[in-house]
Amino acid sequence: MSAGTAVATAPVLELADVQASIGVSHILQGVSFTAPANAVTVVLGRNGVGKTTTLRAILGLVQRSGSIRFLGEQIEHVETSRIVRRGVAYVPEDRDVFRRLSVLENLKLAERKASPHRYDLVYDLFGELKTRSRQAAGSLSGGQQQMLSLARGLLNDNALMLIDEPTKGLAPKVVGDVVKVLERAREISTIVMVEQNLAVARRLADHVVVMSEGRVVIEGERDLLDDDNRMRRLLGLEAGGKGH
Amino acid sequence: MDSVLLLGFTGLSVGALYFLLASGLSLVFGLMHVLSFAHGAYLSVCAYAAWIILDAWGTEGRTGWELVLACVIATVVGGLVAFLTELLLLRPLYKRDNLDQLLVTLGLSFVIVAVLRGIWGPEEHQISLPEWVKQTTAMGGANIPNDRFIIIGAAVLVFVLLQLILRRTRHGTIVRAGVENRDMVRALGIDVRQSFTLVFTLGGMAAGLAGALGAMYLRAVQPAIGDQFILFAFIVLIVGGLGSLSGALVAAVVVGLVQQFANFYIGSGAGDVITVALMAVMLLVRPQGLFGRTERVA
């Protein structure tokens, strides 16, 4: 599927009035949106509006309430590991590779019994991971760690990939490599992705969700991103910047 | 030179006992974020198990295998008690605050000591050991009690076995990963609670072995025998770094040696004061310990 095409299939993920708190902070205050199948849904918003918490709430990594449906089944009371085993991959912000484990151990840990393991795809996309398989993941560069984090997500057959700021803090060349990987990933899985880089969002998005103060304020198709001034205002970016 | 050697071996063997207790505590805290006070009581239970076996054996026909049997049974008992604790007392509390789990282990330790006292009384019971364990081996002018070699050897064996489990098995990899980032392990589809059981049981087994060896070292058992070791095991845990097995090993050696040499050269009790001071300094200067990692905030 290419960016900008119309999305007409049943949603893979549906959130309705999802609330979440971390400590005493009420972060999500009624988040509702749908993620269409075989599409990339990009979640945007200023820092601190609850984008990362939304992904973590879907997975049950924070206490949440409201309705979360994945492939038509309610999952808001399901434990994290069970949600993942139903076919969800999570690529977190800041990579979260296991630094003391080797690259191969990180990948082996991601293997799920009920799923075929796509080592061919992973090593095709990230050949460096094969040559560095015995290296401690903590000694990899930021870009390599991002590749490993994405590789863990791509290793299994997933109906949904939740990807949190995959280009954050990466050099422009590496951002390009990550985008190529994501373009490959969209061919095999529905994606919900938090992304602050407008250029990357425009390249990948089929569906757009904009958040503000713990709620979804705009939801629609990719052409929402074409209104540059409006998007920059919503994202708290300076007008006439580099599109990032 | 002979006193230095004797103090060195005694310090290493005391450190080995601290390590056996601290290794389990370290993994339990690293993965489960639970500071278990029950492991000291497991040590007491298993010291009694070893005493019962050696006492039942009698003094005739001693070969040394009865000591091995006592150690094996103490290890199994420690694992079993820890397994049941995790299954029946801790598992229902995983959704609650970690403080609740800590309080349960503290309460359990009181109960266990009270039960031991109720059954066998508060007094010490001398432990009957094979003759060769009580004998010494001449080395560099010093006569080193043979039990020191047994304790040090057992701790090294446990360290190697734990390393093999942690590095060569999938469960071990899950434990190592969980110590780093438990949420991410769950986010890979792994039910980390199964690893809680494994880690708590392994910790109980190590404490059980420490019970048998501690009874051998002290030549006696009494209900609060575990209390003599648990405080210093916590010091080892903090100095070595919570969740680090290698850190626990290094810290146990340091604490054991410092304690013995200070007690001998400065005065009785000085070693305890210095090791507590060492812990305080570590908390101020390097709160994550020698081998620990800085705690993730988000």
* Tens digit of each residue's pLDDT (9 = 90 or more) over B94-138: 888 888 999 999 999 999 999 999 999 999 999 988 888 889 999
What would you report as the CA-atom Rg of chain A, rounded to the nearest whole angstrom? Answer: 17
Three-state SS for B125? strand
Tokens of A45: 């918003």
Whether the per-residue pLDDT at B40 is higher than 60: the answer is: yes
H or E, element range at A162: strand A160-164
Mean pLDDT of chain B: 92
Whether the per-residue pLDDT at B210 is higher than 60: the answer is: yes
H or E, element range at A74: strand A73-74
Chain A residue with CA closest to B192: the answer is A81
Using CB atoms, which residue from B170, B180, B191 is nearest to A98?
B180
* Tens digit of each residue's pLDDT (9 = 90 or more) over B148-181: 999 999 999 999 999 999 999 999 999 999 989 9
Tokens of A16: 């309705």
DSSP bridge partners of A64? A20
Is the Cα torsion angle B270, B276, B282, B285 positive or negative in sign? negative
Chain A residue with CA closest to B189: the answer is A81
Task: Look up the pTM and report it.
Answer: 0.85
Residues 6+ apart with CB under 8 A from B62: B130, B131
Per-residue pLDDT, A242: 44
Per CB-CB distance under 8 Å, the chain B contacts of A80 are: 183, 186-187
Contacting B with CB below 8 Å, chain A residues are 59, 61, 79-82, 84-85, 90, 92, 96, 98-101, 105, 108-110, 112, 152, 156
Chain B residue with CA closest to A59: the answer is B187
Per CB-CB distance under 8 Å, the chain A contacts of B192 are: 81
Give CA–CA dist B169/A51, Å, rounded. 36
Tokens of A22: 């971390």
Per-residue pLDDT, A2: 41
Per-residue pLDDT, A4: 41
The answer to whether residues B207 and B24 touch, using CB atoms and an 8 Å cutoff, is yes
Q: Across the beta sheet with A25-36, what order do the strands follow?
A: A25-36, A11-22, A64-70, A73-74
Give CA–CA dist A206/A216, Å, rounded. 17
Q: Find the length of chain A.
A: 244
Per CB-CB distance under 8 Å, the chain B contacts of A98 are: 176-177, 180-181, 184
Residues 6+ apart with CB under 8 A from B118: none
Is the Cα torsion angle A54, A60, A64, A65 positive or negative in sign? positive
Per-residue pLDDT, A70: 97
Domains and CATH numbers, chain A: 3-235 (3.40.50.300)
Per-residue pLDDT, B203: 95
Per-residue pLDDT, B30: 84
Give CA–CA dist A83/A159, Å, rounded. 11
Give CA–CA dist B192/A81, Å, rounded. 8
Distance from CA of A22 to the nearest CA of B (A): 11
The answer to whether residues B281 and B232 touch, using CB atoms and an 8 Å cutoff, is no
Q: Do B187 and A108 touch (CB under 8 A)?
A: no
What percent of chain B lies above the pLDDT cut of 70?
97
* Tens digit of each residue's pLDDT (9 = 90 or more) over B235-279: 999 999 988 899 999 999 999 999 999 999 999 899 999 999 999
Using CB atoms, which residue from B170, B173, B189 is nearest to A81?
B189
Q: Do A81 and B181 touch (CB under 8 A)?
A: no
Cα dihedral B126, B130, B131, B133, rounded to 10, equals: -90
Per-residue pLDDT, A150: 96
ipTM of this complex prediction, to 2 decimal places: 0.89
Q: Which of A81, A99, A107, A157 to mutate to test the interface with B (most CBs of B within 10 A)?
A: A81
The answer to whether residues B50 and B218 touch, using CB atoms and an 8 Å cutoff, is no
Walk along chain A (244 residues) in steps of 10 and give the mean pLDDT of each run: 50 96 90 96 94 97 95 96 96 93 96 89 94 96 94 96 94 92 95 94 95 94 87 72 45
Give CA–CA dist B150/A35, Å, rounded. 63
Give CA–CA dist A162/A57, Å, rounded. 11
* Tens digit of each residue's pLDDT (9 = 90 or more) over A108-145: 999 998 888 999 999 999 999 999 999 999 999 999 99
Residue contacts between A and B (CB atoms, under 8 Å): 55
Report the range of poorest mean pLDDT among A148-157, B8-17, B55-64: B55-64
The answer to whether residues B146 and B133 touch, using CB atoms and an 8 Å cutoff, is yes
The answer to whether residues A84 and A161 touch, using CB atoms and an 8 Å cutoff, is no
CB atoms within 10 A of CB A123: 16
DSSP bridge partners of A220? A208
Per-residue pLDDT, A9: 65
